[in-house]
Amino acid sequence: MRPTKPGVVTVTLNAAIDQTLECPGFTTGAVNRVVAETRTPGGKGINVAAFLAGGTRPVTAAGFLGEDTVPLFEALFRERGIQDRCLRLPGSSRVNIKVVDRTNGAVTDLNLPGLRVPEEALDALLETLDALAEENGCFVLSGSVPAGVPANIYATLTERLRAKGALVAVDTSGEPLRHAVAAKPDFVKPNAHELGELVERPLRNPGEVARAARELHAGGIGLVVVSLGADGALFVSDDGAWRALPPPVEVASTVGAGDALVAGVLAARLDGHDLETCARRSTAFAAGKLAKVGPVPPAPERVAELVCAVRMHPLGSA
């Protein structure tokens, strides 16, 4: 899993502004007082780019942004040294609102609709990615698919980019994931629920999740990582299978934790590390991110501490 071209491109079709509202004792049907508010640029691919930026490889963000909400994204790209190849569309990128009630330990999500992508914009994106494939060896296709974009878009992009010699990672769900898996990307990262939908059966424990992950791998996907939230993640490849369990950590926000896992996996694998090291490092990176709001990577010293605390369990060959 080491492409000859060093650059990494993340593709975000449905970028978002993540708005977090701190609202103690939040109650529906009542007047609620917000004590703090945070807005950060997001969308799964944008988050992955932010986590990878500052490493040894150039990082480019591609996809679609609403013209009305561009400044927040452009500020992130400037701050992190991310090359901006996103296409601008009329309107606003979607807003994802999280109402956090720490008093009761509850989080309420309100996800607004996003942009509608016209056919000519999708054609322009394909041309942009073709050009980027000339100089970049790894593409991350992640997040939901907006209105106007066919559900098989990630499958189309996977086939197109792999034909150009690129390594392709996919992190999505539902029908877009089902189509993408048929195109056999190099790396997929569903969570347990998404994997259960994909294999069309409930996955009630880590053993059943591991069996389903092995099925995906046997079907031609080189690396399958299944996130289990606070219970860690499962990793399956030709190198074997592992479960990584993170230590307990302070949690400021879970938004982007899965994207941090994707970034950690890619960084470790592109550097040539074996599966066990990859699992340990990416799990530590994702755990470290939980203390941050927004796509802010944990400090290297904190990741090093957490690496030592991650518990690793081989899953055997069953």
CB 169 within 8 A of CB 138: yes
**Residue 317 — very low, low, confident or very high, per pLDDT cuts 50/70/90?**
low
CA dist 102 to 75, 142, 193, 250, 297, Å?
A: 30, 30, 25, 13, 23
- CATH number given to 7-15+43-93+115-314: 3.40.1190.20
Closest CA to 263 of 218, 230, 303: 303
Looking at residue 120, its pLDDT comes to 96
Give the model's confidence band at 238: pLDDT under 50 very low, under 70 low, under 90 confident, else very high. Answer: very high
Give mean pLDDT, residues 3-18: 90
pTM for the complete prediction?
0.93
> Contact, 14 vs 114, CB < 8 A?
yes
pLDDT of residue 299: 92
The ranges assigned to domains in the chain are 7-15+43-93+115-314
pLDDT bracket for residue 252 (50, 70, 90) = confident
Q: Higher-confidence residue: 256 or 226?
A: 226
For the chain, the average pLDDT equals: 93
Quote the distance between the C-alpha of residue 303 and its chain's center. Answer: 19
Q: CA-CA distance, 201 to 193, in Å (whole number)?
A: 10
Q: Is a pLDDT exceeding 70 seen at residue 1?
A: no
The mean pLDDT of 277-292, rounded to a whole number, is 94
The contacts of residue 55 (CB under 8 Å, 6+ apart) are 267
Give tens-digit pLDDT for 100-145.
898 888 889 898 888 999 999 999 999 999 999 999 999 999 999 9
pLDDT at 79 exceeding the cut of 70: yes
**Cα–Cα distance between 185 and 87 in angstroms, integer?**
24
Please say whether the dihedral angle defined by the alpha carbons of residues 26, 31, 37 and 42, taken in this order, is positive or negative. positive
Our answer to whether residue 68 is catalytic in this structure is no
Provide the pLDDT for residue 45: 97
Band of residue 2 on the pLDDT scale cut at 50, 70, 90: low
Please check the confidence at residue 315 and state whether its pLDDT lies above 70: yes
The pLDDT-based confidence of 254 (bands split at 50, 70, 90) is: confident
Eight-state DSSP code of residue 229: G
Residue 221 has pLDDT above 60, yes or no: yes
Radius of gyration over every alpha carbon of the chain, rounded to an integer in angstroms: 19
What would the pLDDT profile of 147-206 be if each residue is shown by its tens digit?
889 999 999 999 999 999 999 999 999 999 999 999 999 999 999 999 999 999 999 988
Tens of pLDDT, residues 192-208: 999 999 999 999 988 99
Annotated catalytic residue: which of 18, 171, 186, 259? Answer: 259
